Structure 1
Amino acid sequence: MNDKKEIRNILLLVFVIIIVGALIIAKFYGNNQKERYNISVIAGEAHAERWVVLQQGLEKAGNDYNAQINFYTVVNGKDAREQKDLINRELEKKVDAIIVCAVDSQEIQEVLQKSERRTPVILIETDLKPGHLYSQVSPDNYEMGYHLGEEFVRQQEGKETTAGILIDNDKIAAQQERLKGFEEALASAKNITIKWRASDYQSNERVDNIIGMDCVGTQNATEISKVNNEKISIYGFGNAEANIYYMDKGIIKALVVPNDFNMGYLSVQNAVQAVEKDMVYKNTIVEYIVVTGDTLHNEENQRIIFPLVQ
């Protein structure tokens, strides 16, 4: 009888040990399992090549920080109303954070300021004054424009020349800042005449050079040169595959390439930190490079142009 009682007590003790052990393991696992964040990214024009490298950075950070990245674009790359609707929709869904590349800086600032939700918002290349609800991840757009202007002036070597400037969307503050920097770099270059500034080439007079103020504008400029079979030198921004191809062919003479991979990665990193630290924000400046045909294949430049190949 005593033996049976002793066996029962031992079994009961073993059972208690198993239960307690299971609870400890479950608690330990739960405490060490990262929370999965839901982050929405709302960009501009759909199918634009410029998002490719940015998305690579977003996805890499999503894996590193256990975040689900939902990437959205607008059908019309200049439609602020469509982008505002997307932002409001994602705010209503109560996502953890939103990353925005604004198609109209002022309009987007207004919709963010009116929002009553305290959802962290990270702005990419939007150049707004920081607010209590958002921070920025961006290169210095004025500086990029200025350095492109310096390179343009240098390559003219004092020769008389004409230029046109393609501004794909003048409602984007980043493009305004680039244009300002570019034109200030040309201020003392008396040999260069800017013939026009426009969103497209139609009905504008022929020029020796076209400068695109963003990736899309630069791609459009190369198409103008190709379609019209004219020897127009192109200068611009962005590491779209077409831009790199035309630089290799000698049509694009200089490109300013922001580190889009880092911009995407740091946007997610900042968003997660903002959520975890209860909306403690910081603004982040992203590096960029000025590339010419002579420096295109430099190892450091290739690291930024093709980040996942390295």
Structure 2
Amino acid sequence: METGKKVVILLEAFLALMVLAALLLMLQGKNGQDLVKVSVIVQNSDDAQWAAFKYGLKMAAEDQGIEVFIANTGGSTLTVEEEKNLIEWEIDNGADAVIVQPVPETGAEEMLKKFEKRVPVMLVGSTASKDRTLTKLPVTEPDNYAMGTVLAEELLADYNGKVDGKTIGIFSETNDSEAANNREKGFRDRLADTQAEITWTVSGHSGEAKENSLAAQPEVNFVVALDDDSLTAAGEESAANNLHGAVVYGIGRSTEAVYYLDTDHVKCLVVPDEFNVGYQSLTKTAESLKRHFHKVQGETVSHKVLRRETLFSKENQEIIFTMSQ
């Protein structure tokens, strides 16, 4: 081979190495000196029920050395179009990934999958599709079916399984999400071999409707609330003696929910580990950003049963602490 050709080949190889080195330096800069930014979008982000979740995000951000930004969504419920616009705005303003509580509406899955082609997307709390077998997006959430089952088991245990002829009302914020559906299914399936009667199911309450809907329902022996908003509304109605003596069981994640348990207006509280929902969702997202071509992985977190008599035991202190941060 002629000397001139050797020089050209060596020069091209050198330039290729320089380009590769520059690319690696850019990537290292992104993962090192310039903080990676992850935006978080959840409904009613200022609500107290997100306290433990936010604390988990904060701790994970410190451990991973990344910046986390929680979008202010106010008190109104986002639509699919509004969530789409908000995600678009976050990405346009530097978000390298997004953590999203999916809107329980048709089209949410398709909308979020389009964004996944641009940045990593992690869901929290629920899948975007009502049928979780159809979802293609990673999600960090508690086992919603198991929480519904546990709620029924706790009720049965309190009455030694003797609930024949007892009436139950189910109260939830929505019946359109995978989380709500699986919580209710878990509860119903566990009671299927009893003679307890589920008299009514109420969902979609908000604002004034939330305050009045429970008192307007027929009298029942038990009110079962499947989310924090519903649980605190039921606790409030119980405190006001508007439930005609119905005993409240539910799923909650706020200090307000714990307050109603402590004041005996809620009999039993099942609490998802929201700290770990925040911590794991951000950690998994950070891993995908730092390890290129690494697919985001979801996570299932645990839950805990709280009772008034053991509320302030040592084993329960940690989960209550995270709610108050």
Name the TM tier (shorter chain). 0.7 to 0.9
Q: Which structure 1 segments of 5+ residues have no match? A: 1-28
Q: Which residue is equivalent to 1:20?
A: none
Instruction: Please give the root-mean-square deviation of Cα atoms over the aligned residues, in Å.
Output: 2.7
Is the 2:281–2:298 Cα contact (8 Å) retained in structure 1? no
Q: Which residue is equivalent to 2:97?
A: 97
Q: Which structure 2 segments of 5+ residues have no match? A: 1-27, 204-212
Structure 1 residues 173 and 106, CA gap change in structure 2 (3 angstroms): farther
Deviation at 1:30, TM superposition (A): 7.3
- Alignment equivalent of 2:200, drawn from 196, 200, 215: 196
Residue identity opposite 1:99 in structure 2: I
Q: Does 1:205 align with 2:218?
A: yes
Q: Which residue is equivalent to 1:5?
A: none
Distance 1:275 1:114 in 2: 18
Q: How does 1:52-71 map to 2 (within 5 A)?
A: 52-71=51-70
Question: Among the aligned pairs, what percent are the same residue?
Answer: 30
Structure 1 residues 196 and 50, CA gap change in structure 2 (3 angstroms): same
Residue identity opposite 2:190 in structure 1: A
Q: Which residue is equivalent to 2:109?
A: 109
Q: How does 1:273-288 map to 2 (within 5 A)?
A: 273-278=287-292, 279-288=294-303
Distance 1:301 1:292 in 2: 10
Number of matched pairs: 281
Structure 1 residues 30 and 140, CA gap change in structure 2 (3 angstroms): closer
Q: Which residue is equivalent to 1:8?
A: none
Residue identity opposite 1:69 in structure 2: V
Structure 1 residues 257 and 275, CA gap change in structure 2 (3 angstroms): same
- Alignment equivalent of 2:308, drawn from 286, 293, 300: 293
Q: Which residue is equivalent to 1:176?
A: 181
Distance 1:194 1:78 in 2: 31
Deviation at 1:74, TM superposition (A): 5.0
Deviation at 1:290, TM superposition (A): 1.5
Distance 2:182 2:135 in 1: 23
Structure 1 or 2: more strand by fraction: 1
Distance 2:34 2:306 in 1: 41
Q: How does 1:134-283 map to 2 (within 5 A)?
A: 134-157=137-160, 158-159=162-163, 160-190=165-195, 192-199=196-203, 200-201=213-214, 203-229=216-242, 230-278=244-292, 279-283=294-298
SS at match of 2:145: helix
Distance 1:198 1:249 in 2: 25
TM-score with structure 2 length normalisation?
A: 0.78
Q: Which residue is equivalent to 1:47?
A: 46
Deviation at 1:193, TM superposition (A): 1.6
Structure 1 residues 116 and 167, CA gap change in structure 2 (3 angstroms): closer
Deviation at 1:299, TM superposition (A): 1.8
Deviation at 1:137, TM superposition (A): 0.9
Residue identity opposite 1:293 in structure 2: R
Structure 1 residues 288 and 64, CA gap change in structure 2 (3 angstroms): same
Q: Which residue is equivalent to 1:125?
A: 125
Deviation at 1:155, TM superposition (A): 1.6
Q: Of the two, which has the highest radius of gyration?
A: 1
